[in-house]
Amino acid sequence: MIPVINKIVRHHHEKPEERGILSVVIAPTKELASQIVNEGRKLALGTGVKITLMKKGMRVVERDDEDDSKDVLDEDDSESSGSEDDEKATAKNSKGKAPVTKSDILVTTPLLLVNALSANRTKPLATLPLVRNVVLDEADVLLDPLFRDQTLDIWRSCTHPELRASLWSATMGSNVEDLAKSTIKERKDTLSETKSYPLLRLVVGLKDSAIPNIKHKLVYAATEQGKLLGLRQLLHPAAASSTDIRLRPPFLIFTQTIPRAVALHSELRYDIPPEAGGSSRIAVLHSELSDGQRSEIMKQFRKGEIWILVTTDLLARGVDFRGINGVVNYDIPNSAAVYVHRVGRTGRAGREGGIAVTYYTKEDIPYVKSIANVIDVSEKLRGTDEEKSVQKWLLDALPDLSKKKKEELKKHGVKARQTQGTKDDKKTRISTKSGYERRQENKKKALISASRNRKSQPKPGADSGSDDDNQGWQGLED
């Protein structure tokens, strides 16, 4: 972001009359896009560079096939370091039409911008002639089949001859690099005025490896019930033995699918005692929630009001949480690259003490080796005398996965967990008890708690405090 901001500042001095979107930053999720805007505004404070988060209904270009009576949004009266409220005016105006934004940097997810450029796919794709920089954050995802067409459409719509593209990711496969090169060559063939720039490849650390400043733990749990029991042991550090891993909140729990995230949240929400905050301390975040719900959960997690966040790979990439003590892969990642990104939510900026725990069952054994290899390399880079999580005999015993199987796993995950909510989900159901048992148990706990509260009402003149009330949090007791 710093070079992009610096380039725009120079442009403002050299061509003050030319205003419009000069740079586009593309991110795969709304959470990551919002974070980029917030951090970018801190960097741009006092420079006059305006950064906008793309929202549904926002207009970014004037079209020849539209009516002439259009409003143009000029944000000269707002500072670039303002909050997201600065863009609320772009959603609508008094006539019900969205104005055209004149921000310098537009941060967006692929589909939002493609819809804005094509009037929700009803018209040909408009161009962004002033854009001189296009930045792809988590480029390997943006150029994966899910987002590839949308991302390339945005890239092609940036027609300025001096356009520079930069691709960033912690995991960058050779196929992504080849696709980027072919896109650049295609631009030169179709746009004769395109200037040539040298291709630079920057690698920080060991390519496609997990950060070495966190501890990795690969745990065989045999069954789904075993995983749930293992997770509950992490929630009760006071009951753990001296050899067990101790994971203190806040931390993230990743699952393979949205139904599994919802089910796990429902299973764990009563595990936190009322005196520690109860069910308000655990939440679930996934793409089926509304934007408002997602933003509120993220806000509460960052503020420390939520201690445990159950989520999907929605939060696996790029999102920066300070102070995260650990990551739990309740379901194994779909690839080694996803593992690298998931565990990268802890140990940020070289912070020591983070823990990554990965559970696997009998059904996962064919898919674990790539993850075990990443852990093995990370532990070698760490260079400590501690006992390794992945022993050589385990690496030798785990089966290799064919290229076809790897592609299937990357697209669909472990097949055994795709049966959630069907008659065949008994083996993969996230529960140690039936729903009826859980409801009865919670009703009983509520009645007992209410009875104790009535009995413990302080009498006049009685001491309302106790030694226990002044003690810190000692873990999530049974």
Q: What share of the chain is helix, strand, coil (3-state, %, to 5)?
A: 40, 10, 45
Which of 50-64, 103-117, 200-214, 454-468 ranks highest by mean pLDDT? 103-117
At 197, is the pLDDT very low, low, confident or very high (cuts 50, 70, 90)?
Answer: confident
Element (H, E) at 317: none
Tokens 């696996």 correspond to what residue? 316
At 426, is the pLDDT very low, low, confident or very high (cuts 50, 70, 90)?
Answer: low
Which of 7-11, 30-34, 69-73, 382-386 has the weakest average pLDDT?
69-73
Using alpha carbons, list the distances in angstroms from residue 212 to 245, 350, 376: 17, 9, 10
Structure tokens given for 196: 């040539």
What's the whole-number mean pLDDT along residues 125-137? 93
Would the pLDDT of 247 be above 80?
A: no
What's the whole-number mean pLDDT along residues 16-38? 93
Report the pLDDT value the prediction gives residue 98, as an integer from 0 to 100: 65
Torsion of CA 317, 320, 323, 324, to 10 degrees: -20
At 210, is the pLDDT very low, low, confident or very high (cuts 50, 70, 90)?
Answer: confident
Report the pLDDT value the prediction gives residue 411, as an integer from 0 to 100: 76
* CATH number attached to the domain at 214-417: 3.40.50.300
DSSP string, 227-253: HHHHHHHHH-GGGS-TTS---PSSEEE
At 462, is the pLDDT very low, low, confident or very high (cuts 50, 70, 90)?
Answer: low
434 Cβ neighbours under 8 A, 6+ residues apart: none
What's the whole-number mean pLDDT along residues 285-299? 92
Report the pLDDT value the prediction gives residue 409, as an integer from 0 to 100: 80
Q: Which residue has the higher pLDDT, 440 or 256?
A: 256
Same-fold call for 1-60+99-190 versus 214-417: yes
Please give the sequence-ordered ranges of beta strands (E in DSSP) within 164-230, or none if there are none.
164-168, 215-222
Phi, psi of 283 (to 5 degrees): -145, 165
Tokens 């939440």 correspond to what residue? 283
Say how far residue 67 (Cα) sits from the centre of its chain.
39
Would the pLDDT of 433 be above 70?
A: no
Q: Which residue has the higher pLDDT, 342 or 347?
A: 342
Domain layout of the chain by residue ranges: 1-60+99-190, 214-417
Nearest one of 334, 6, 318 to 168, comparing CA atoms:
318
Q: Which amino acid is at 354?
A: G
Q: What is the CA radius of gyration of the chain?
A: 26
What's the whole-number mean pLDDT along residues 168-177? 87
Report the pLDDT value the prediction gives residue 193, as an integer from 0 to 100: 80
* CATH number attached to the domain at 1-60+99-190: 3.40.50.300
471 Cβ neighbours under 8 A, 6+ residues apart: none
Report the pLDDT value the prediction gives residue 67, as an integer from 0 to 100: 52
What's the whole-number mean pLDDT along residues 455-473? 56
Average pLDDT score over the chain: 81
Which of 26-35, 320-329, 330-339 has the weakest average pLDDT?
320-329
Phi, psi of 105 (to 5 degrees): -120, 125
| Percent of all residues in the chain with a pLDDT value above 90, rounded to a whole number | 37
| Cis peptide upstream of residue 250 (ω within 30 degrees of 0) | yes
Q: Round to whole Å and give the CA distance between 252 and 356.
A: 10
What's the whole-number mean pLDDT along residues 280-294? 92
Report the pLDDT value the prediction gives residue 43, as an integer from 0 to 100: 94
Q: By the 8 A CB rule, do 247 and 325 touch?
A: yes
Q: Which residue has the higher pLDDT, 386 or 177?
A: 177
At 156, is the pLDDT very low, low, confident or very high (cuts 50, 70, 90)?
Answer: very high
Report the pLDDT value the prediction gives residue 395, as an integer from 0 to 100: 86
Would the pLDDT of 245 be above 50?
A: yes
Which of 49-63, 132-146, 221-235, 407-421 has the weakest average pLDDT?
407-421
Q: By the 8 A CB rule, do 239 and 233 touch?
A: yes
Would the pLDDT of 310 be above 80?
A: yes
- Over residues 68-110, the pLDDT tens digits come to 444 444 443 333 444 444 444 444 444 456 678 889 999 999 9
Using alpha carbons, list the distances in angstroms from residue 422 to 336, 363, 428, 433: 29, 18, 10, 18
Would the pLDDT of 416 be above 80?
A: no
pTM: 0.77
Report the pLDDT value the prediction gives residue 220, as an integer from 0 to 100: 92
